[in-house]
Structure 1
Amino acid sequence: MYRVALNTAITLFRKKTKSPQTDELQDFHYKDFMEDDEERQQQISTLYKVIKMLPNVERAIVTMYLDDLPYRDIAENLGITEVNARVKMNRLKKTLKELMEKHA
C-alpha cells in the first residue's frame, strides 16, 4: 500500500511540474474524486516533508529522478557511475517508504 502511495505521489508531482492543462472533462472528474485527491495531496505533502529530511546529495538524486532525468544524467551530475545512481535511487525509494510509514 505504501508503494502505491509513493508511486502516486511521484506521478502527481511529475504531472504538477508540467504545464497545467484544464478542460471541462478533467474538472468534472476532479469533482467526482475530491476525497481521493485530498488524500493524495496529503500523501504528496508528507512526501515533500520526508524528502526535505534527506541529506543534500540524496535529496538531489530524488529531485533529479522526479524531474525525469535519465540515470546517466543523474550520474553525470553527481560524478558517479550510472549503476551507482540506480542503486542509490533504489535504496532511497526504500528509505522514503520507511519514512512515509513513520510520518503518515
Structure 2
Amino acid sequence: MQDNARQRFAGLLERHRGIVLKVAHSYCRHPDDRADLAQDIAAQLWRAFPGYDAARASFSTWMYRIALNVAISHVRSSSLRGRHSVPLDDEALLAGDGDDHEGDEHLRLLHDFIARQDPLHRALLLLYLDERSHREIADVLGISEANVATKISRLKQRLRNEFA
C-alpha cells in the first residue's frame, strides 16, 4: 500500500509541479533559495499527503494551500527575511523574443508591484493571475470569498493608480 501511495503522490506531484515552481519563483529570487523552497514544499506535501481528501478539494487547490503556507513561513523565517524575497528575476520574467518592449516594461512593473506586497497579498495575486476562482482562492488562503473579492478589487485599484 505504501508503494501505491508513493506512486500516486509522485504522479500527482509531477502533473502539478508547475504550482511548486511558480510559488518558489514568486517568493525567492536566487536559484538556490528557489530550489530549497521547492524541496521544502515537496517534503511538506508528502508529509501531508496521507490527509489529502479528494472529496474536499482538488489536488491543485490542496497543493496551492500547502505550497503557499510553506512559502510564507519560509519568507517569514529569519534566515530569509530581508534576503531575496521577491518574485522571479528579470531574466526569467522577461524571457522572450524581445520585440515587445512596452509589454516587457508593463510586465516588469507588474512584478515589481507584486514583489512589494506582503506574503498574503502576493499569494492572492499569484492565484488570481493563475485564473483561480474566488472560491478556490478563498479555500487556499482560508478567507471568505467576499474578502477575496474585496482584496482583489483593492489590489486592482492600487495597480490602476500605480500604472496611471
Name the TM-score class by shorter chain.
0.5 to 0.7
The two structures have a TM-score, normalised by structure 2, of 0.38
Corresponding position: 1:85 with 2:120: no
1:60 alignment counterpart: 123
Higher helix proportion, which one?
1
Q: Pick from 46, 55, 68: which aligns with 2:109?
A: 46
CA distance in 2 between partners of 1:54 and 1:100 (Å)? 16
Q: Which runs of 5+ in 1 are unaligned?
A: 1-16, 18-30
CA distance in 1 between partners of 2:152 and 2:146 (Å)? 10
Q: Which has the higher relative contact order, 1 or 2, with Cα contacts under 8 A spaced 6 or more apart?
A: 1
- Asked which structure has the greater CA Rg, the reply is 2
Q: How many residues align?
A: 68
Q: Identity over the aligned pairs, expressed in percent?
A: 32
After the TM superposition, list the runs of 4 or more consecutive aligned residues in structure 1 that deviate by more than 6 angstroms. Answer: none
CA distance in 2 between partners of 1:43 and 1:100 (Å)? 9
Q: Residues 13-60 of structure 1, C-alpha deviation per residue, up to 9 Å, x if partnerless?
A: xxxx9xxxxxxxxxxxxx9xx4xx210111111110111001110111
Indicate the SS of the match to 2:131. Answer: coil
